[in-house]
Every structure is written in C-alpha cells, then in structure tokens.
Amino acid sequence: MLTRIDHIGIACFDLDKTVEFYRATYGFEVFHSEVNEEQGVREAMLKINETSDGGASYLQLLEPTREDSAVGKWLKKNGEGVHHIAFGTADVDGAADDIRDKGVRVLYEEPRTGSMGSRITFLHPKDCHGVLTELVTAAPSSPTEH
C-alpha cells in the first residue's frame, strides 16, 4: 500500500545553484545531503512537510557525478526538470511485488539503498504513462540535517 508522495526528484546541472533557488524563492532548506556513488549523483533533500504516517515529503535535487549515470544521461537528453516521482510505502518489497503482478516492470530485482538509508526500487516509465516512478521505504530512523 502506497501511503504518500515521498518526494519529487528534480535533475539539475548545478546542485548548489538549484538549492539556492529553492531557498531564496520558496524558503525551503536542505534537510539532508549526500553522494550516492552507486547511482552516480550528489543530492539534496529539501523537506516540505511532515505526513500523518510519520514520514515526510521532500524535493530531491539531483546532480550527476558522472555523465554515464542514469541522471547524467537523462539531463543530456531532457535538460533540467522533474526526473521522477516517489511514493512512500511501509513495505517496498510487497508494494513492488503487487505492482509487478499487475504487469508493471520493476527495474531492480531487489530494492537498493536510497537517500537517508531508505530502501528503493523503480518502475519502468513506459508502464507508468511516461513517469519514472520510485517506491520508497524510509529507514527506521531519520537522520538530522547535515
């Protein structure tokens, strides 16, 4: 069962410049930042609000650390903008299995580690009306801002 919009991923060429835009324009602050070597991105999570299920909703700003990363290839083809939408779930494995049973391709055989220690998988955009969709189970405890 999907419980919330966990985050919207936005691909950008310059993470620091994009963070400053969201800070100056909307007042959003960086809640968490990290480099995900496996996915080849440097990212910043900007918390938008808390949710009734104990999670939160974020904007995830993504800058590729290498051109051959998925985000790097996407930016080269599409330019900056919305890259994906992520839905929160208490059980990423179960949600992925349920969705796979409905004929949607799940891109990872087993969920991987995502932002802030979460467990993630992606659904094929061609099966989701052109939208790259991520399923996220948050880590048991959220880190503080850093």
Residues with catalytic function: 7, 43, 60, 84, 134
User: How far apart (Å, rounded) are the C-alpha atoms in residues 35 and 62?
Assistant: 10
Token representation of residue 23: 């800070």
Dmax over CA atoms of the chain, in Å, equals 44
- Beta pairing, strands 56-64 & 41-50: antiparallel
Q: Which residue, among 48, 56, 61, 58, has the nearest Cα to 20 in the 3D structure?
A: 61
Q: 133 in the Ramachandran plot: left (φ > 0), alpha (ψ -120 to 50) or beta? A: beta
In terms of DSSP H, where are the helices of 5-78? Answer: 15-26, 70-78
